[in-house]
Amino acid sequence: MNDEDKKKLIKECLSKGLLFSPELGQKSEEKENIFYFENTKKINLSIQENKESAEIENTEEFLNKDVEILTSYGEKWKKKTIKDFFNHYSSRFKTLSQMLRRREELKGATAIKRISLRNQNESVATIGMVKSKRITKNDHILLVIEDLTGETSVLISKNKNTKEEGKDKSLYEEAKDICLDEVIGVLGNKGESDIIFASGLVWPDLPRGMEFKKSPVEEYAVFIGDTHFGSKHFLHKEFNLFLNWITGKIGSPAQKEMAKKIKYLFLVGDLIEGAGIYPNQEDDLEVKDIYKQYEIFSSFLKKIPESISIIICPGNHDPVRVHEPQPPIPQEYAKDIYALKNTYFVSSPASVRIGKKDNFKGLDVLLYHGYSFPFYADSVESIRQVGGLERVDKILEYLLKRRHFAPQHGSTQFVPDYEEDSLIIKNIPDILVTGHIHRSTTTIYKNITLLNCSCWIGQTEYQEKRGLKPQPAKATVINLKTRETKILSFAK
């Protein structure tokens, strides 16, 4: 089996989310052996004489080491029960509370059930998932939080509306932003019966002082999203300019020099416009057939040099389930793109490692299309006040602080398919890239590069109704050696 066939097989595996695939093994020309894949590893099995069992013989990495897929979720079909949802939320609670317990002030956090054993006015620290939140008639904030042992009330007094040194917001202002189902640490004093008068709140957040990793080699990664090919509003001219730049045909001498050093292109979902996504969408379609949409889009990607690895995650316009985690775009729809040697399909969310060298372990990029963002733009007061959807940077910071892409139940659709909640931001990336709301933003939060991608579609009536104000035809470029970020505009 040559390397090309192997690459094709691993793409099939990743698109189906297969961890074990006897069928793929049977395609092997190594007749006496069977193999299966786990992420980028090929596991060779030697078949035992009775042919009913197999032993792991060896494992080997064989995907292009320039792109290592760290996490990508496939589709698992299984009938869901209430127990799956219970397990989903309890595993989320356990993972996030473990993160919180690493914080100095929560090392001795007590289970909620044990708070009742404490004396009145005694100091307490605990961790809980927010069950309810309301404003009392005296304008205080009253939460009910729960863990696996019980529940308790937490009062955040409006008198805590003074900023402490080193804090951006007062405790009361921070508490106003709390959403349901997020997991927080509470510090305070026990009141009469089961209530805590809060003096501090702790979020899982990112630790301080994380390394701002830089590659020893000058290479570039380009990030785009929401191309929406197939729509009448697709920006043909602008996208062509982008392709002309990335293929080294146009640009200033410095931009051409940069283009030569591009090693990675990220496409963060909504590659095509799709069909049947919203009412009367057919009126907005230039290419009505979704197979044709991918076929034509593949002809654009074919122009990109093979030396550039293209990493693709799905969005809500691509033909995969909307429920998160969204599996990679299936091969049957995008077979011409799968056929390209330099494409990698992953889920949303997913994480990949790029730029690995002998003396550098590479940079981790977390991709998430961004379906939950409008909910937080509308419902979190501090984000709404500074511009809502126009401040994706604030939405990203809000979610990173909670270490979850959709902390409140209902803010996105999800499937509890995995043992652990796949929307938890468990491993901290160096770069977080998102899209969906068609606005171009870059910022640094605690040494993480946060970026939201522009789009390649003009404003449709539907988007206008949803309050989307696009900033189209921009590509974000990161120099992996300096971590400097540039936004290049191809707008006409």
Residues 299 to 318 in contact with Fe ion, rule: CB under 5 A: 315-316
Pick the closer one to Fe ion by CB: 230 or 315: 315
**Among all residues, whose Cβ is closest to Fe ion?**
436
Q: Shortest gap between Cβ of 315 and Fe ion (angstroms)?
A: 4
What residues does 141 pair with on adjacent strands? Answer: 135, 156
In the chain, DSSP finds a helix count (H) and a strand count (E) of 12, 20
Minimum CB separation from Fe ion for residue 346, in Å? 16
Interface with Fe ion: number of residues (CB under 5 A): 4
Two tokens, residue 401: 């602080």
Residues 12, 14: Cα–Cα separation, whole Å: 6
Q: Kindly state the smallest distance separating residue 316's Cβ from Fe ion, in Å.
A: 5
**Stretch of 106-114, 270-278, 298-306, 389-397 contacting Fe ion, by CB under 5 A:** 270-278
Report the residue number, 316 or 440, with the smaller CB distance to Fe ion.
Answer: 316
In the complex, the smallest distance separating the C-beta of residue 367 from Fe ion, rounded to whole angstroms, is: 13
In angstroms, what is the minimal distance from the CB of 181 to Fe ion? 23
Stretch that binds Fe ion, among 4-12, 116-124, 164-172, 429-437 (CB under 5 A): 429-437
Residue 270 is a binding residue for Fe ion (CB under 5 A): yes
How far the first Cα of the chain sits from its last, in Å, is 48
Q: Binding segment for Fe ion among 41-49, 91-99, 163-171, 428-436 (CB under 5 A)?
A: 428-436
Is the CB of 204 or the CB of 269 nearer to Fe ion?
269
Closest distance of CB 278 from Fe ion, Å: 11
Burial of 175 (0-12, 13-18, 19+ CB in 10 A): buried
Helices 236-246 + 253-260 axis angle, to 10: 70
Residue nearer to Fe ion on the CB measure, 238 or 270: 270
Judged by CB under 5 A, which of 133, 228, 436, 438 binds Fe ion? 436
- Name the residue nearer to Fe ion (CB basis): 316 or 442: 316
Q: Taking Cα atoms as reference points, which of 469, 470, 428 lies closest to residue 449?
A: 428
Residue pointed to by tokens 């080294």: 248
CB of 277 to Fe ion, least distance (A): 9
Cα distances (angstroms) measured from residue 433 to each of 114, 171, 223, 259, 422: 42, 30, 8, 20, 17
Tokens of 65: 């080491």
**Least CB distance to Fe ion at residue 317 (A):** 6
CB distance 376 to 395 below 8 Å: yes
Q: What is the Cα–Cα distance from 55 to 334, expressed in whole angstroms?
A: 35
Provide the minimum distance between the beta carbon of 364 and Fe ion in the complex, in angstroms, as a whole number: 23
Stretch that binds Fe ion, among 205-213, 217-225, 282-290, 430-438 (CB under 5 A): 430-438
Task: Output the CA–CA distances (angstroms, integers) from residue 321 to 314, 348, 349, in the order listed.
Answer: 10, 11, 13
Q: How far is CA 86 from the centre of its chain?
A: 23
CB nearer Fe ion, residue 298 or residue 316 = 316
Which residues 6+ apart lie within 8 Å of 356 measured at CB?
65, 66, 68, 362
Q: Which is nearer to Fe ion, 316 or 463 (CB)?
A: 316
Q: Binding pattern to Fe ion, positions 314-343, x when CB under 5 A? A: -xx---------------------------
Nearer to Fe ion, 401 or 439 (CB): 439
373-377: long-range contacts, CB 8 A cutoff, minimum separation 24: 373/434, 373/436, 373/437, 374/437, 374/466, 375/406, 375/408, 375/410, 375/411, 375/412, 376/179, 376/411, 377/437
| Interface positions with Fe ion (CB under 5 A) | 270, 315-316, 436
